[in-house]
Amino acid sequence: MKGLPPSTARAVLSADDIARLLPHRHPFFLLDRVTALEPGTSAEAIKNVTASDGVLAGHFPGRMLYPGVLLVECVAQLAAVIYGSAAAQSATGELVADVADRVGYLAEIRQAKFLKPVLPGDQVVFRAQSGPRLGGLISVTGQASVGSEPVMTARLAVTELDRS
């Protein structure tokens, strides 16, 4: 990802690492791996969409499509990884720590555009960039792509809980 310092550009977080940063659990734990991370600023992650994903059983019968609202949720979870890793780094000097209690909420979907459907077998790459803070809200821009094709863009606001 452009703009990441060499020390963090190659930072990879496994699903177990992500689970330490997020309170989400199955079936709402959506990210498979973080592939690049600049704590407090930006990150990139992947999600593998499979036909066995339970949400596809009813969305839609006859043509399985990964729900757009879950693509937006993936960006929100990646935003939580961005600020959770910054909190972990501040508290422990490490990118990962048990900071899931700091994850707030998706507060606003300012804009979301769904450009192409996401289907079973797709590997979706998510990118999120933290923007300005206004009070307890953090502005986030995100996008999702499959291969070189963009499938979704979004502008969100998320909250961060301060447990200091």
Fill in the DSSP letter of residue 45. E
Each residue's pLDDT tens digit, 122-162: 999 999 999 999 988 999 999 999 999 999 999 999 998 86
Q: Is 59 labeled as catalytic in the residue annotation?
A: yes
Fill in the DSSP letter of residue 4. -
Each residue's pLDDT tens digit, 83-99: 999 999 999 999 999 88
Collapsing DSSP to helix, strand or coil, 42 comes out as strand
- Mean pLDDT of all residues in 67-72: 97
Residue 32 half-sphere exposure toward CB, CA atoms < 13 A: 10
Cα first-last separation, the chain = 31
The CA-based angle 126-130-135, given to 5 degrees, is 140
For residue 10, the model assigns a pLDDT of 59
Q: Kindly name the residue from 20, 33, 59, 155 that is annotated as catalytic.
A: 59
